[in-house]
Amino acid sequence: MAPIDIPQYSELLWPTLEAVTRLGGSGSIEEIVEEVLNGERFSEQQQAVLHGDGPQTEIEYRLAWARTYLKGMGLLINSRRGVWSLTEHGRVATAPQVEKLHRKYVLKLREDRRRRQQEDLARVEQEDDGADQPHWRDELLSALMRVSPDAFERLTQRLLREAGFINTTVTGRSGDGGIDGVGVYRMSLVSFPVFFQCKRYSGSVGASAVRDFRGAMAGRGEKGLLVTTGTFTGDAKAEATRDGAPPVDLIDGQRLCDLLKEYDLGVRTTIRQVEDISVDTSFFDEV
C-alpha cells in the first residue's frame, strides 16, 4: 500500500496564516486546524494518518510545528488559553514574505543549535510548543486507554454529573444501538435528555460513527454527545452539525483532558512559587 502524502510543516505555514485571517485574526487550536483542513481539502484518508501511535494525527502534529515556527517568525502569538492571534506583521505578510522569513528563521535555529547542547535545544523546543501538546495530556490519554470500557463509561457519567447533568445513567447493555448512557441537562427553566456514546480510540473518528450514533438516537431524543480519547476528522465535525439533522456535540481527547482537569477528575494541579533571583553588583561596590 502506497504511503499517504501529507504536506510538510513548511508547506502549512501560509495555509495556517490564511486560516487565522479567515477566522478574523485569532482562533483556538481546534478552530485553526479545522479551518486549514477545510481550506486545503484534505481527504479523510489523510486526516486519519496518526503521528506515531497517536492519539494526535500527523496533520495536527505538523500544524502544531507550523504554528510554533510562525510564532518564532513573529507572525503569530498565543495566549495561555491556547488562542493564537496574528501579529501586526502577520496581518500584512504575503506568501513570498513568509517563505523568506522561514528560511531566515531556519538559519537562526541552526546557528543556535551549534551553540547549545542537544538536550538544551530539545527542552526549549518542548517549551515553545507546550501550549499545543503538554506532556500531562499524553500521560492522561495513555491512562484512559488502559481502563476498561465499563470504567470509561462510568468516568464519562461522573464527568457529566460534575458538569451539571442530573439523572445520569449508563445503559450497561450490549446491543443498545451504540448508546452508552443518558443524562438530563437542566438549563434555567427547561431540561432535556442528552444521549452519550464513549469511544476509546487512539485514532480518528470518522463521519460514519456520527451517523450511526445519530441513527441510534432516532425516536429517543434529539441531542447527543460523542466522547472519544482520539480525534474527529473534518468530515465527522461537518456531519455533527449538518443542517436538518439532530446536532451531535463532539468531545475529542484534548478537550476531554481539559474537562477532567477542570473538574479535578484524576488530574491534580499544583501551583508552585518560583524564586526570581538576580544579583545587584552595585552592592559590592559599596562594601
The predicted-structure confidence for 150-188, as pLDDT tens digits, reads as follows 888 888 888 888 888 888 888 765 444 578 888 888 777
Residue 128 and residue 158 share a domain = no
15 lies in the same domain as 94: yes
Q: Give yes or no: residues 58 and 159 share one domain.
A: no
pLDDT at 273 over 50: yes
Whether residues 148 and 42 fall in one domain: no
Residue 133 has pLDDT above 50, yes or no: no
> What is the mean pLDDT of the segment spanning 196-207?
87
Q: Do 160 and 228 share a domain, yes or no? A: yes
Q: Are residues 145 and 258 in the same domain?
A: yes
One domain, residues 118 and 162? no
- Of the segments 46-50, 116-120, 279-283, which one has the largest average pLDDT value? 46-50
| 267 has pLDDT over 90 | no
Q: Are 108 and 127 within one domain?
A: yes
* CATH code of 161's domain: 3.40.1350.10
Q: Are residues 57 and 157 in the same domain?
A: no
Cross-strand pairs, 170: 181
pLDDT value at residue 121: 47
Same domain, 100 and 145: no
Is the domain of 163 the same as that of 255? yes
Find the mean pLDDT for residues 9-28. Answer: 93
Q: Tell me: pLDDT of 87 over 50.
A: yes
3: confidence class by pLDDT, cuts 50, 70, 90: confident
Query: Is 287 a member of any domain?
Result: no
Together in a domain, 128 and 149? no
Q: What is the mean pLDDT of residues 200-213?
A: 88
Under the banding of pLDDT at 50, 70 and 90, the label for residue 136 is confident
Q: Which domain holds residue 109?
A: 9-132
The three-state secondary structure class of 166 is: strand
pTM of the model: 0.54
| Residue 110 within a domain | yes
Question: Does any domain span residue 169?
Answer: yes
In a domain, residue 277? The reply is no
